[in-house]
Amino acid sequence: MKQTVSKKLYFTLILVTVVFIVYVLGKNLVLDPQFTEFLSHKTKLSSSFVMPAWLSVVRVHIIFGCIAMLSGVANFSMRLLKRNRLLHRVNGIVYLLAVIAVIFTSGYLAPHSTGGKVNSIAFNLLNIVWLVFSITAYIAIKRRNITSHRKWMVRSYVFCFTNMLTHILLFISHDWLGFNYEASYTFGVYGSIVINLTAAEIVNRFVFKAPVKLLPNGLPALDR
């Protein structure tokens, strides 16, 4: 029963990830490549804002964000780990490098955040926490502590959904409840961080609560 629930949750995660990636790439790289609609809400841009540079960085940010989402969700598959450990390891490195790329590009984008400094601070703090969580997960697996590695990967991976949750909360606050855009965006940013951190601990406590047992061949005694 628990295994069935776990499989359903994992399938749902894959579905949400794929749908969101298709939406993001379609909207931002095909339908509105100049980010006209998004930029129209920025009212506190600093003098250092350079449109061509911003567009290039945000595109790189989006692409690596999608790579992190895909590689991350793939590596939660125990079937992949059991069938091809090398691919799992390589994919894990791809995830870590993609996260680092997202963090560095976010560092450039943060000073120009919608809503001003209050959101810039949030994004910069988020970047630090995300990097710490990801590196901690990497250190855990280097020490062969799979249980700790999995828990820290959950804490790291949830931040891939920051943008999605931010815009869901923005839509609820701005379009449904009628609050102004900047206040709604700020609510979305901080709300997404709280939801991500909470979701990670819920998953670790109720889905991945059992420690990982190793088989004689060094593989985890789990199946998905």
In tens, the pLDDT along 77-110 reads 877 777 888 898 999 999 999 999 999 999 999 8
Residue 98 CB neighbour total at 10 angstroms: 22
> Please, how many CA atoms are within 13 Å of residue 147, restricted to the half-sphere of its CB?
8
Check residue 120 and give its pLDDT: 92
Provide the sign of the torsion angle of the four alpha carbons 142, 13, 211, 217, taken in this order: negative
Mean pLDDT on 21-47: 84
Query: Quick check: 224 pLDDT over 50?
Result: no
Check residue 77 and give its pLDDT: 83
| 147 to 7, 93, 201, 204: CA distances (angstroms) | 19, 18, 14, 10
Contact call for residues 78 and 223 (beta carbons, < 8 A)? yes
Check residue 1 and give its pLDDT: 40
pLDDT tens per residue across span 122-169: 999 999 999 999 999 999 999 988 889 999 999 999 999 999 999 999
How far is it, in rounded angstroms, from Cα 99 to Cα 82?
24
Query: Quick check: 212 pLDDT over 80?
Result: no
- Residue bearing tokens 């994919």: 91
Residue 15 CB neighbour total at 10 angstroms: 11
Q: Please, which pLDDT band fits residue 223 given cuts at 50, 70 and 90?
A: very low
Query: Quick check: 217 pLDDT over 90?
Result: no
Phi/psi at 41 (5° precision) = -95, -5
Contact call for residues 137 and 207 (beta carbons, < 8 A)? no
Q: What percent of the chain has pLDDT over 90?
A: 60
Q: Please, which pLDDT band fits residue 113 given cuts at 50, 70 and 90?
A: confident
Mean pLDDT on 34-57: 82
Per-residue burial over 165-202, b if 16 or more Cβ lie within 10 Å, else e, is bbbebbeebbeeeebebbebbbbbbbbbbebbeeebee
Query: Quick check: 8 pLDDT over 60?
Result: yes
Predicted model pTM: 0.89
